[in-house]
Structure 1
């Protein structure tokens, strides 16, 4: 069984200098279906690029006994038909076909020799059955034969993701490094990809979608607050074990605290007795040596107890190093229920004379949390833009209560270049409050010193969402708020939404989030 061996690896970013990994060692089987999780900006993509040799460690080494391939990537020519993009990404089959035909036509001794070399390569990479393999794999991942005939660049982001992953899995001796493949996939696409990956092996996948991870992984590598930890099982099993460990360490820490207080009291009592005996020495003419020995013995016992106190305190420090202290997020929302905030009646919208959706009906009352779901291209973002009066419906009635304050988190954040502090100043937003909210979501204050261009996609998304938490509102409108957002942040957001019960309408593909948060769902076909 081949392995990827990481030996005493240390890596840090240079500007500003920030340690990502310190002296980590891992042995990863290339037969595993390994999920990689952790907070945004904690080095998940960096670890993949170190394994892929795209980055070099500051110290230590990475050894891979297989060829590694990183996703996402761009094909060399996106104007080709999708079938040809897959075929030529596996190996240069089209080029080999032309060259082999040329050599056969020439038919001299040197040409026949070169033909034999090419033929051996062609056969080794399944060249004579590759077309059938492509058709089989694309069917399994939910790509129709019609899509294979279209130019690759005309496919949706989710379709392109699935096509390119098929091309990587059809490579020989390949270990895949798959970085957040679900971000452009709708719910059905995520389920299809999860089921497809569950039948494969030999990959590391970074994802923040808990349902998706449960579908397709058998090991999990977590970049935690103080270590990098490898566990067997899926996400739910990892989460359960982490919660058990945290609960055990909390109780142990509480017991140690009680022991420390008891020992400190005993040490203080012994010291008090020792000092009292020392005072007795000064006034005693007889038995002076005897009293002094008692005093020394009491002081020795006090020091012994204090040593035990120190040991217990050190033991406490070793506990809960990975525990993320719960920090409270708050939404400044108007409370209450029943009041009608928005509705659509019999709404239809067409684009280039093609109906995107027809006959949409919904009523949004105060306290409702409506999820909009549907396949890619079904018009989810368009529906939000109709509600915001950025577009006009072709038919039907769109109503939004006049004068209400709306916090809108866009699918593609507008703040993506420059420095965060400048944007906050230009928009008269409280820097201290913004910094605190980012801290609650796991992004440290140092990101204010970096340009937005250096932020991870998850950090950019957190900045966009922070704008929803910093100002009071009547209505939240969120367009795919969880894209690129780490699991811990998702769970924090779920908690604050359930506690605050805001009025909201949102587009999302995370099944776990929808099931926990939505009071109703609009499904666009």
Structure 2
């Protein structure tokens, strides 16, 4: 066991976070720690590392167990060092040994004793064991995996924003390779490529990992055990997040049935007590029943901490067919071009997810659509479009002197105060929280208020920039459900893959200054991208094979050419030209060129057919789908045939060239 709790009770002021909890974390476990916002998940991690002490029970940690703890409070760290230097502090021990080696090397220049040589050899071994030979390479690899460019590595840490700083600290922690890694919302500041890289890295991580995250897609891929903090108790589920959801529902049903059965039993016995209490002859029996009920281990009712409230959008007017049109749009910054002659159209009913790595201009494109960015080219609104834009900078529009409930009342939704308070409950403002002043709220709380205002705006076109950033899993699901019922259109930016997969019917990507549109959901887009990548790799292999073939031919010619130069024979000794063989060689060379051309054409056809198979409209038409599937099978068979012909012709050409 690396760490854990034994009968731990922890109280935060008058509030009990967990009561009489036992939890053991074992080597190589992948654990997701889940629970509603405010239940105390992050607090539990602090208890594990010893920042907080339990009221009762013991916190256990292995004597030699090293623990790495990533959390938002780390952002208070500041330094003038480059991000490469900050991350390389993971190898402080190796670097210290490296300095000792430098001293020993200088000493060996003047005193070459056996004792000194042994010490030098020992230090070399220690340096290698500490990873000294791979420090800079490994550090650069991890930082680049988390989204930093080569040029960024030498930039000072303090030049970066909070999100990027957190990536540097995550890189350092990963490189330290502790026995137990505690990650509190590690994906909060990562874009999709960085999240995918982190997933792959952690899947091969040798230590144990405990993750607190609101990203259910990330949890589902990463964890094999879920620990839920619910009603001040820890509940254990041996499976991923999907398993936990299904199993929890089953346990709730079973508990509800057991509770109802016990309540029936209690009511029956209470009726007996009432009937017999007044009769002297039955008084002893009544007392016996009362004692039996007092000793009964009561089953608790299944109290849902947060009910499944419905977030409902309402729209005032129906827009025209086209909501927004971009024609030949160019958007440049001094050091970066986002769009170059880009053209796109947003139609009524479109639910578009704009995805890609950080720095590609997703938020800028949202502002371009909203008309908030100066551009070259044309941006045109459609008929009857009533838009609402949710983004971090919208927080500035909140009235700091308003209470939360007053801010929503002024949004003009015509909803009653009860309806508004119900909505705020979905966004984690319960009870008296709705009466807090905006000016005392944290950044995350203000973001949730701004999102609630967007939802009640009655707009028929929404622009949403990272709407789930400050929501827990439950609230994100409520937002998913509401967006699926929403009759309007939207464009959203999000790094939450579950959220995208459940809401979008189109995917936009910014590629080389253009807006590339995929007509289908996120899961279909991922499958299509994987097929395209496999196809690209296949083309590269084929090209490499062809180049190697040409290279072999050139090598053979180079080997033969020196012989022709060096060997001077009398005219009668020259080998006569075999015209028949030469004609045959030329014939095979023509056939070889034709097969190369056919291979290239067949690869292009396969790529077009794969794209067609990925398109939803193909699946909608059974005849079209059957034909496309048949054509693709034929193209694959043709590829095998052509590859065989290619190899046979190449061998024949090499044979004939050798005879000439």
TM-score using structure 1 length? 0.77
Q: Does residue 1:414 correspond to 2:406, yes or no?
A: no
SS of equivalent residue, structure 1 residue 378: coil
| Structure 2 CA distance for partners of 1:145 and 1:340, relative to 1, 3 Å | closer
Instruction: Write out aligned runs for 1:383-402 (5 A).
Output: 383-399=365-381, 401=383
1:5: which partner in 2?
A: 4
SS in 1 for 2:468: coil
Q: CA separation of 1:384/1:400 partners in 2, compared to 1, >3 Å: closer, same or farther?
A: farther
Distance 2:389 2:218 in 1: 27
**Larger relative helix fraction:** 2
1:403, 1:356 → 2: CA distance?
Answer: 25
Deviation at 1:443, TM superposition (A): 3.9
Are residue 238 (structure 1) and residue 244 (structure 2) matched? yes
Aligned positions of 1:362-441 closer than 5 A = 362-365=345-348, 367-399=349-381, 401=383, 404=386, 406-411=387-392, 414=395, 422=403, 424-425=405-406, 429=410, 433-441=419-427
8 A Cα contact 1:78 1:85, kept in partner: no
Q: 154-163 vs 182-191, which deviates more?
A: 154-163
Q: Deviations over 1:167-215 (max 9, x none)?
A: 3233254422212121222222222211211111322122111111122
* Contact 1:30–1:202, Cα closer than 8 Å, also in 2: yes
1:168 — aligned with what?
A: 173
Q: Is the 8 A contact 1:246 1:323 kept in 2?
A: no
Corresponding residue of 1:508:
494
Q: Give, in whole Å, the separation in 1 of the partners of 2:222 and 2:32.
A: 8
Q: Is the CA contact (8 Å cut-off) linking 1:344 and 1:399 kept in structure 2?
A: no
Paired position in structure 1 for 2:468: 482
> CA 1:377–1:307 in 2, change beyond 3 Å: closer, same or farther?
same
Q: Is the 8 A contact 1:342 1:401 kept in 2?
A: no
Q: Answer whether contact 1:342 1:400 (CA < 8 A) is retained.
A: yes
TM-aligned CA distance change 1:175 to 1:421, over 3 Å: farther
Q: Check conservation: 2:82, 2:155, Cα contact below 8 A.
A: yes
Residue number in structure 2 paired with 1:41: 38
Residue among 192, 201, 215 paired with 2:197: 192
- Which residue in 1 is equivalent to 2:21? 24
Query: SS where residue 67 of structure 2 aligns?
Result: strand
Aligned position for 2:69: 70
Say if 1:88 and 1:9 are closer, same or farther in 2 by CA, change over 3 A. Answer: same
CA distance in 1 between counterparts of 2:35 and 2:126 reads: 41
**Would you say the 8 A contact 1:373–1:523 is kept in 2?**
yes
TM-aligned CA distance change 1:90 to 1:403, over 3 Å: same
Gaps of 5+ in 1: 279-294
Distance 1:476 1:138, change over 3 A: closer
Q: Hey, what's the Cα distance between the residues in 1 that align with 2:236 and 2:504?
A: 33
- 1:444 is aligned to 430
Judging changes above 3 Å, is the alpha-carbon distance between structure 1 residues 116 and 456 closer, same or farther for their aligned structure 2 residues?
A: farther
**In the superposition, relative to structure 1, how do residues 463 and 115 fare at CA in structure 2: closer, same or farther (>3 Å)?**
farther
Instruction: Note closer, same or farther for the CA distance 1:421–1:58 as it changes in structure 2 (3 Å cut).
Output: farther
Q: 1:95 to 1:364 in 2, by over 3 A?
A: farther
Separation (CA, whole Å) in 2 of partners of 1:338 and 1:519: 19
Q: Report what 2:338 is aligned to.
A: 356
Partner of 1:146: 150
8 Å contact from structure 2 (residues 329, 376) kept in 1: yes
Work out whether residues 477 and 506 of structure 1, in 8 Å CA contact, stay in contact via their aligned partners in 2.
Answer: yes
Per-residue CA distance 1:267-291 (angstroms, 9 max, x = gap)? 59x83xx79xx9xxxxxxxxxxxxx
Distance 1:323 1:240, change over 3 A: farther
The 5 Å alignment of 1:247-262 reads 247-253=253-259
CA distances 1:321-344 after superposition (whole Å, capped 9, x unpaired): 466432233333347686544333
The correspondence of residues 468-479 of structure 1 with structure 2, limited to 5 A, is 468-479=454-465
Aligned counterpart in structure 2 of residue 222 of structure 1, from 225, 228, 233: 228
Aligned partner of residue 233 in structure 1, secondary structure: coil
2:87/2:172 contact within 8 Å kept: yes
Q: Distance in 2 between matches of 1:145 and 1:469?
A: 37
CA 1:516–1:427: 2 relative to 1, 3 Å: closer
Q: Distance in 2 between matches of 1:78 and 1:400?
A: 50
CA-atom RMSD, angstroms?
4.3
Structure 1 window deviating more from structure 2 (462-471 vs 216-225): it is 462-471
Separation in 2, partners of 1:418, 1:106: 69
CA distance in 1, matches of 2:449, 2:48: 29
CA separation of 1:402 and 1:390: change in aligned 2, threshold 3 A: farther
The answer as to 2:48 corresponding to 1:51 is: yes
Q: Which deviations, in whole Å up to 9, do the C-alpha atoms of 1:477-513 show, x marking residues without a partner?
A: 2210111321111111212222344432221122221
1:97-120 alpha-carbon deviations (Å, 9 max, x no partner): 4465346546799xx799899778
Which residue pairs with 1:285 in the alignment? none
Partners of 1:297 and 1:471 in 2: CA distance = 71
Q: SS of the residue aligned with 1:40? A: coil
Q: CA deviation at 1:376?
A: 0.9
**How far, CA to CA, are the matches of 1:417 and 1:96 in structure 2?**
55
SS in 1 for 2:88: helix
Alignment of 1:103-182 (within 5 A): 104-105=105-106, 122-134=127-139, 141=145, 146=150, 149-151=153-155, 153=157, 163-171=168-176, 173-182=178-187
CA contact (8 A) 2:6 2:22 kept: yes
Deviation at 1:241, TM superposition (A): 0.8
After TM superposition, list the pairs within 5 Å mapping 1:299-318 onto structure 2.
Answer: 315=298, 318=300
Q: Is the 8 A contact 1:194 1:213 kept in 2?
A: no
Tell me the SS of whatever aligns to 1:512.
helix
Aligned partners of 1:327, 1:68: CA distance in 2, in Å?
39
Between stretches 347-356 and 508-517, larger displacement belongs to 347-356
TM-score normalised to the size of structure 2?
Answer: 0.63
Structure with higher Rg: it is 2
